[in-house]
């Protein structure tokens, strides 16, 4: 892929970031209520931060399957709200105990633990309300997509991955356990993004299935690259403390398989994810370029 493609991906990311930003800003306003402080804390973690990969994927798969851009943005915002809640709770002292996130103090560092717990709870709860308020699409699709959102974020998905992560700390585990943890902790929400995009657009079942497999592979690649970055990056570039995996005695692809093997796996998964895109008849260049871009990211 040429540098030109990278520039196009960065423009796409920037464009999507602005749209997601505007949408969540509108959906979660501070409006002079007694409960505004929890909104303020949620907005601290939600706005002006993050790559917005998940909402971008959701909207791009939606467009790939013939959907009209604007209708899917409520779900895109809901997905980012769920991702953000998971970061807030993950950073808590009783979890990973991280002070920095997305280049800013983590939510509990800035507002205290209790407010951070509630900001996370609020974002998770409101996300489903935002999704339920999607307009312009058949209600059957919205309901099915909400089911996917719940199962990918819940105990069979992200929350399940978090508990495996927690229980693997300070223990020697097999690569299979780490893979299952990544599949749930990071992969599930990326899989949700791709499949929900297809579901909302009314795609055929085989395409929804293809999107799910793409998300599975791309999500795993994404997390393996995160491991590599955590191992070798510097604080300033990553926006969060590096080496926190090592600090927390976490089992990662890098700690179990080494840097080179991890890089090879990430590259292979990326290539497999891109190959799956061939099953779609539309223009998959934007998603393919994004997938390659994420492999070579430095943050």
Instruction: Enumerate binding residues for its own copies (CB under 8 A).
Output: 28, 33-35, 37-39, 42, 85, 89, 92, 94-95, 112-115, 117-118, 120-122, 124-126, 128-130, 132-133, 139-140, 142-144, 146-147, 149-151, 153-156, 159-164, 166-167, 177, 180-181, 184
Q: How far is the CB of 147 from its own copies (least distance, A)?
A: 4
**For residue 3, what are its two tokens?**
């540098």
Q: How far is the CB of 15 from its own copies (least distance, A)?
A: 29
Report the alpha-carbon distance of residue 106 to residue 115 in Å, rounded.
12
Nearer of residues 5 and 37 to its own copies, judged by Cβ? 37
Q: How far is the CB of 257 from its own copies (least distance, A)?
A: 20
Give the three-state DSSP class for 25.
helix
Nearer of residues 7 and 143 to its own copies, judged by Cβ? 143
Nearer of residues 35 and 264 to its own copies, judged by Cβ? 35
Nearer of residues 161 and 215 to its own copies, judged by Cβ? 161
Nearer of residues 93 and 282 to its own copies, judged by Cβ? 93
Q: How far is the CB of 97 from its own copies (least distance, A)?
A: 10
Going by the DSSP 8-state scheme, the letter that residue 100 receives in this structure is E
**For residue 247, what are its two tokens?**
């600090």
Helices 175-182 and 205-232: crossing angle, nearest 10°?
120
Q: How far is the CB of 124 from its own copies (least distance, A)?
A: 6
Q: How far is the CB of 68 from its own copies (least distance, A)?
A: 20
Place of tokens 């943050």: 299
H helices of 158-296, where?
158-168, 175-182, 188-200, 205-232, 235-238, 244-247, 253-257, 259-276, 285-295
**For residue 54, what are its two tokens?**
């998940």
Nearer of residues 99 and 180 to its own copies, judged by Cβ? 180
For 238-277, b where at least 16 C-beta lie within 10 A, e where not — what string? bbbebebbeeeebbbbbbbbeeeebbebbbebbebbbebb
């Amino acid at each position: 892929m040429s540098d030109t493609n990278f520039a196009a991906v960065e423009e796409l990311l920037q464009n999507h970031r602005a749209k997601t930003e505007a949408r969540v800003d509108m959906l979660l306003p501070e409006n002079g209520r007694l409960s505004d402080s929890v909104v303020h804390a949620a907005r601290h973690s939600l706005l002006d931060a993050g790559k917005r990969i998940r909402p971008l994927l959701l909207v791009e798969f939606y467009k790939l399957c013939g959907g009209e851009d604007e209708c899917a943005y409520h779900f895109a915002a809901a997905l980012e709200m769920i991702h953000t809640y998971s970061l807030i709770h993950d950073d808590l002292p009783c979890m990973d105990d991280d002070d920095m996130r997305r280049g800013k103090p983590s939510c509990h560092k800035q507002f205290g633990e209790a407010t951070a717990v509630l900001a996370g709870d609020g974002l998770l709860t409101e996300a489903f309300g935002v999704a339920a308020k999607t307009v312009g699409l058949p209600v059957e699709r919205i309901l099915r997509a909400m089911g996917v959102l719940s199962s990918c974020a819940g105990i069979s998905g992200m929350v399940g991955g978090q508990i495996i992560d927690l229980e693997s700390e300070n223990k020697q585990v097999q690569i299979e356990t780490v893979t299952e943890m990544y599949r749930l902790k990071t992969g599930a929400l990326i899989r949700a993004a791709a499949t929900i995009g297809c579901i909302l657009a009314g795609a055929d079942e085989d395409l929804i299935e293809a999107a799910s497999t793409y998300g599975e592979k791309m999500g795993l690649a994404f997390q393996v690259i995160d491991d590599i970055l955590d191992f070798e990056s510097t604080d300033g570039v990553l926006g969060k403390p590096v080496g926190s995996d090592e600090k927390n005695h976490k089992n990662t692809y890098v700690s179990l398989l080494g840097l080179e093997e991890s890089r090879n796996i990430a590259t292979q998964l990326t290539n497999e994810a891109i190959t799956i895109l061939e099953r779609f008849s539309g223009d998959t260049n934007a998603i393919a370029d994004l997938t390659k871009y994420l492999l070579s990211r430095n943050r």
